Structure 1
Amino acid sequence: MEFDFLKVKLSELNNKLKEQKKKIDKEKVEKTLYEIGKKHKLKRLDEKEIKEITRDKGIIGVDGSINNYGGIYPHYISIVQALAKSTLNEAYILQDVYAPLFEEEDSQIKDEQRRRAAMSKLEIQVAMYAMENFKSDIILMDGSLMHYGIDCPFEWQAFKEMVLKKGKIVIGVAEEVKTKDIAELVKDKIGYSNVLYDREILFGLLNEGEVLEIDIKTQKKQKGIKTLYARLSKDPQVIGLDFLAEQFEDGLKLCNLLYTLTPREGRGIPLWLDMVDKEVKVSDEMVRVFVETYIDKELREMFINPKRNKR
């Protein structure tokens, strides 16, 4: 099989990306950003300092996972799972099943929103349970805090009220920075006309162990969420750290802890959150076993199984 056409097209794309990179003048970006923002230099803590900052209560990681069995919308079943687990080995897990055949007949876009909301609600539930029953005052949520307000606004509001009432600190750790807030701010000043995202602007801008604080008007800020951009490992791609606006100053003091908990050779995420992510993962095998055990074969064939599974 010949792949000459693909080779040519990918080489062309590679050249376009090179041109895009050249247009992003890092010196101009840095100068512009430091006129409106500031860097914070982090340090790695020793064991005594970790115990002091956590009050020897550890930390909590919260993450969710979702996986499907079947074909395309609406003929599939989703298994949803969320886990809250502390470094003191306290754990709480919840599962749910989502089946679009029993939802309103609308669009596939609405279906995706419902799937995402199902997982977000479970994550909020396990986090609230952890607040009530676990010792730690520090909760790391996988992903931006913004999506909870979009996916499940009522649950998010109840969660926020509980966090503030109990004096817990919640931090959203977003491994992918998908916003365009900073990019839009600097685009004109660096003479860039194409679509630009914050991840491109911030790539390689921070040194290891630095966070960037920028006080600009964003959708997150309007929703009561403040964001720091951090480089916690050798990986040059930054992550986002979301805080409730009311807790920002207290949250900022915990960045040294997050830096300490992040392996230098890793992808820039605190190790405990990665461990919770692995434990909560809904595997293909898990979905298959549950569905094939509890859903009759004839019903699976009629409502769920696509022909491609019979190849």
Structure 2
Amino acid sequence: MEERYREVLSIDKLFLRRFIEEYIGKITSLKKLDNKYLALYEAKGGIVGVDGSTNRMGGAYPHFVDIFQGLAKSTIINNKAIFKSDLYTPLFSEKENNILAEDEKEIAEQRNKLLANIEVEVALEAVRKYKPYAILMDGSLIRYNIYSYDSWINLRDECENQGVLLVGVIKDIKTSIIGDKLKEVYSNINVEVYDRELLFGQLQYGEMIIINDEVNKKNKEGYSSIFMRSSLQPTVIGMDIIDSQKEYLEEMGRLVFTLTPENSRGVPLWLDIVDKEVQISDAIMKGLMERYMNRDLYERFFVSERAKRN
């Protein structure tokens, strides 16, 4: 790997920053919002964090069950968090007549759809119940286009109609905007490299790249995006906002920066809290199955030989 990526990862820092400014987007420094601004957000409905979680119990295909959970949690209405859940097992799928026809790709697709749907559902309920100033969703907004399109359009419309800002915070960016542009401009670069590697340690704490629409592959799907170093860690995170709210992109960048502890992994504290509360532990999975399912069916279909040995 060191040999393969030597040419790209040894690019001079100053050169790369100049390249980014010329071809990718403006690099700007953020200042944290003061308490007066944060109080204003609270007065306008607060911030809602949205995340989802999934866990699996059982053995090899098709003898397993996946449980999904979504959570929307408001910064000002702590005692009324919105939870929704769902489950999936190939033993009770839409292809009941031939469950063995389902392959791993189909199962992964189904899991992605169920998780995306449940996150959009709790977000939509939060918009209607809480009327927050902004919703921070864990992950890129583009995946809702792919896996939950109809429900996602409903959520977009509701947010636009009520003036609720809709933002996605991406902990693990998977884009290759800078690498693709480097390959386009410099013919001697022929290796695939992603933005997370190229930007590792390149931005200063609090710096943000506002990605130009013409190089942002998400733009045609209706999103504007940034990269940001939101903590003292050398890694960067990403952030999306729906294009009709693009004028708030930098403000939401400042909000995410403000809500992120400097010694953290770069994620807003509120999303970290939501992430921990939405998790479905193995103990919860086992408790649910043992309480709500016929014991004979549970052991016959979902207790693996490995589990019996334990």
TM-score of the alignment, normalized to the shorter chain, above 0.5:
yes
Describe the SS at the equivalent of 1:255: helix
How far apart are residue 251 of structure 1 and its match? 3.1
Letter in 2 for 1:102: F
Q: Distance in 2 between matches of 1:33 and 1:113?
A: 35
Letter in 2 for 1:139: I
Partner of residue 29, structure 2: 41
Pick from 200, 205, 211 the counterpart of residue 208 of structure 2.
Answer: 211
1:255 to 1:218, Cα distance in 2 relative to 1, 3 A: closer
Q: Is the 8 A contact 1:169 1:251 kept in 2?
A: no
Q: Distance in 1 between matches of 2:237 and 2:262?
A: 14
Q: Is the 8 A contact 1:23 1:192 kept in 2?
A: no
Partner of residue 102, structure 1: 92
Residues 1:168 and 2:172 aligned together: no
How far apart are residue 18 of structure 1 and its match? 7.6
Partner of residue 50, structure 1: 38
Q: Distance in 1 between matches of 2:197 and 2:272?
A: 24
Structure 1: gaps spanning 5 or more residues: 1-12
Q: Distance in 2 between matches of 1:43 and 1:100?
A: 50
1:218 to 1:73, Cα distance in 2 relative to 1, 3 A: farther
How far apart are residue 183 of structure 1 and its match? 1.3
Q: Distance in 2 between matches of 1:283 and 1:119?
A: 16
Identity %, equivalent residues: 37
Larger deviation, residues 191-200 vs 281-290: 191-200
Give CA-to-partner distance per residue, 1:111-149, whole Å, 9 cap, x none: 111112111111111111110111422100000001111
Give CA-to-partner distance per residue, 1:74-117, whole Å, 9 cap, x none: 21111111110011114111111211222223221111111121
1:44 to 1:151, Cα distance in 2 relative to 1, 3 A: same
Structure 2: gaps spanning 5 or more residues: none
Residues 1:32 and 2:22 aligned together: no
| Aligned-residue CA RMSD (Å) | 1.8
Letter in 2 for 1:115: R
Give CA-to-partner distance per residue, 1:203-262, whole Å, 9 cap, x none: 112111111012133431110011100111101111010000110112322222221111
1:77-88 alignment, distance < 5 Å: 77-88=65-76
Count matched residues. 298
How far apart are residue 294 of structure 1 and its match? 1.8
Describe the SS at the equivalent of 1:266: coil
Partner of residue 83, structure 2: 93
